[in-house]
């Protein structure tokens, strides 16, 4: 499967994964969030081959999650920044991180700290309607027509 064919199914999860459905893409978003925005920073941080990094950056750009910005004219140098769609994805990264910590969390792990309270955040997915964590109330699926 190519990952971005245009037979859009009715599943929003699939829709999401069409755009960020691979490991490197997600790790790139994580690094951009951490402040590593330049090609060389990403390459060394991730240990990714340069051709692969280029391709991932291109697809993420095309998917509208990141954008290239020139930070130096001479010499011409670019950095990659998260777009709004990209920033919107960050909470999901945090949720994945929380899951990884819980189910594969041996050893010391990076955490995110709330700057104001100083406490490590504990990401949870809740239903904005009820405030209840997902999984705590019964749900059913509703399929279009």
Partner DNA sequence: ACAGTCACTATCATTTTGCAAGTGACCCGA
Partner DNA sequence: TCGGGTCACTTGCAAAATGATAGTGACTGT
- Binding to DNA (CB under 7 A): which residues in 5-24? 22, 24
Decide whether 77 or 105 has the Cβ nearer to a copy of itself.
Answer: 105
Judged by CB under 8 A, the stretch of 53-61, 72-80, 118-126 that binds a copy of itself is: 118-126
Q: Is residue 35 a contact point for DNA (CB under 7 A)?
A: no
Residue 133, φ and ψ in degrees, nearest 5:
-60, 140
- Among residues 34, 77, 111, 122, the one that binds DNA under rule CB under 7 A: 77
CA distance 87 to 139: 28
Output 54 or 130, the one with its CB closest to DNA. Answer: 54
CA dihedral 114, 120, 124, 129 (to 10 degrees): -30
Count of other CB atoms within 10 angstroms of residue 97:
18
Q: What are the residues binding DNA (CB under 7 A)?
A: 1-3, 22, 24, 38-41, 47-52, 54-55, 57, 68, 74-79
């Amino acid at each position: 499967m190519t990952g971005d064919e245009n037979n859009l199914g009715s599943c929003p999860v699939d829709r999401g994964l069409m755009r960020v459905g691979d490991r490197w893409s997600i790790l790139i978003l994580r690094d951009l969030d951490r402040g590593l925005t330049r090609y060389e920073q990403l390459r060394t941080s991730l240990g990714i081959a340069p051709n692969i990094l280029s391709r991932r950056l291109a697809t993420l750009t095309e998917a509208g999650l990141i954008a290239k910005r020139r930070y130096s004219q001479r010499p011409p140098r670019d950095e990659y920044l998260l777009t709004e769609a990209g920033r919107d994805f960050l909470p999901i990264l945090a949720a994945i991180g929380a899951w990884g910590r819980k189910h594969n969390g041996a050893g010391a792990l990076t955490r995110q700290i709330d700057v104001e309270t100083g406490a490590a955040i504990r990401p949870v997915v809740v239903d904005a309607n009820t405030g209840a964590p997902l999984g705590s109330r019964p749900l059913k699926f509703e399929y279009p027509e």
